[in-house]
Amino acid sequence: MSGKYLVTGGAGYVGSVVAQHLLEAGHEVTVLDNLSTGFREGVPAGAAFVEGDIRDAAKWLDASYDAVLHFAAFSQVGESVVKPEKYWDNNVGGTMALLAAMREAGVRTLVFSSTAATYGEPETTPIVESAPTSPTNPYGASKLAVDHMITGEAAAHGLAAVSLRYFNVAGAYGTCGERHDPESHLIPLVLQVAQGRRDAISVYGDDYPTPDGTCVRDYIHVADLADAHLLAVAAARPGEHLICNLGNGNGFSVREVIETVRRVTGHPVPEVAAPRRAGDPAILVASAATARERLGWNPSRADLAGIVADAWEFAQNITREQ
């Protein structure tokens, strides 16, 4: 059965891939994005596009929408440390306004783009959803505040809600891929080195208690992530706020990522040793048991070489366009 969905932040990396998946599944999609960090050309063909802020959603959101998939947010950890007020104002204040608009319009299903950063430095691994939440930066704190806000909204007003806590999203899908300005994510950075656009990749710490001494993260293909969002819309139940981690449950080290990029691209990737960064836990790996059980999610693109190959193709395409 086809539906009508609002995708906030649908000009961004994950939002645009999810919008594309919704369209491919035969749904009607409106993308709302203020283009403050998204790209107009990232909005998939076939989606209606509204250039605007989530605070203004009340102006046109109406009961014809079946659900909102909410990605609009600032998401740069480093920036959030320097300008926390920007994150509280936009991510938290913006979502307050969006929830009010949804109540007003009678749209009662929400899938929210949350993050592993809500957990902070984990005490045990893999991370389950009942783990303590102790974010180490304002970005993670703002996303945790929104998760708490949604919990209250579901209990009080019957919202059907799912928060998906992403681990390290990577890869690309069609014309939609990962690019940040400034780039801060490992795989795109390593690919820029392989392209010769950057001299070397910094390895922040090689004496962590991990097999090769570098940090271990759980990389998940953005198309697998998108699948989970469509399943979440279907799994959402009125009055319940379901929280699911999204990861593969397997970790790859920084050194394994670099090695995989060398193998996939055939280019040299010089490394530079750098000191550990504050707030970088040794291992961040998801338990995806809840997503598998409650959403029926079954990620099929867990192979790191495949993730890197898709990201490489996207990186080569956008470089050619520039």
Which residues have a catalytic role annotated?
139
* 306 makes contact with its own copies (CB under 8 A): no
Least separation in angstroms between CB 128 and its own copies: 13
| Bridge partner list, 134 | 120
Instruction: Confirm if 310 and 171 have CB atoms less than 8 A apart.
Output: yes
* 83 makes contact with its own copies (CB under 8 A): yes
Cβ distance to its own copies smaller for residue 57 or 189: 57
Q: Tokens 């999610």, residue?
A: 297
Stretch that binds its own copies, among 34-42, 65-73, 89-97, 190-198 (CB under 8 A): 89-97
Stretch that binds its own copies, among 35-43, 145-153, 175-183, 299-307 (CB under 8 A): 145-153
Cβ distance to its own copies smaller for residue 163 or 253: 163
* 148 makes contact with its own copies (CB under 8 A): yes
Which amino acid belongs to residue 288?
A
* 137 makes contact with its own copies (CB under 8 A): yes
Q: Which contacts qualify for 258-266: CB closer than 8 Å, 24 or more apart?
A: 258/190, 258/201, 258/203, 260/304, 260/305, 260/308, 261/187, 261/190, 261/191, 261/193, 261/194, 261/308, 261/312, 262/194, 263/305, 264/305, 264/308, 264/309, 264/312, 265/191, 265/194, 265/308, 265/312
If you count them, how many residues does the chain have? 322
Instruction: Confirm if 71 and 6 have CB atoms less than 8 A apart.
Output: no
Least separation in angstroms between CB 120 and its own copies: 10
Least separation in angstroms between CB 130 and its own copies: 9
* 73 makes contact with its own copies (CB under 8 A): no
Least separation in angstroms between CB 215 and its own copies: 22
Cβ distance to its own copies smaller for residue 41 or 121: 121
Least separation in angstroms between CB 132 and its own copies: 4
The tokens of 138 are what? 């304002």
Grouping H, G, I as helix, E, B as strand and the rest as coil, residue 160 is: strand
The tokens of 95 are what? 């979502």
Site for its own copies in 150-169 (CB under 8 A): 151-153, 155-156
* 245 makes contact with its own copies (CB under 8 A): no
* 239 makes contact with its own copies (CB under 8 A): no
Give the C-alpha distances (Å, rounded to integers) separating 287 from 48, 130, 166, 297: 36, 11, 11, 13
* 264 makes contact with its own copies (CB under 8 A): no
Cβ distance to its own copies smaller for residue 145 or 288: 145
Cβ distance to its own copies smaller for residue 83 or 294: 83
Q: What backbone torsions phi and psi does residue 141 show, to the nearest 5 degrees?
A: -65, -40
Least separation in angstroms between CB 152 and its own copies: 3
The Cα–Cα gap between 318 and 308 comes to: 15
Site for its own copies in 95-134 (CB under 8 A): 96, 99-100, 103, 132-134
Residues that bind its own copies (CB under 8 A): 80-85, 87-89, 92-93, 96, 99-100, 103, 132-135, 137-138, 141, 144-145, 148-149, 151-153, 155-156
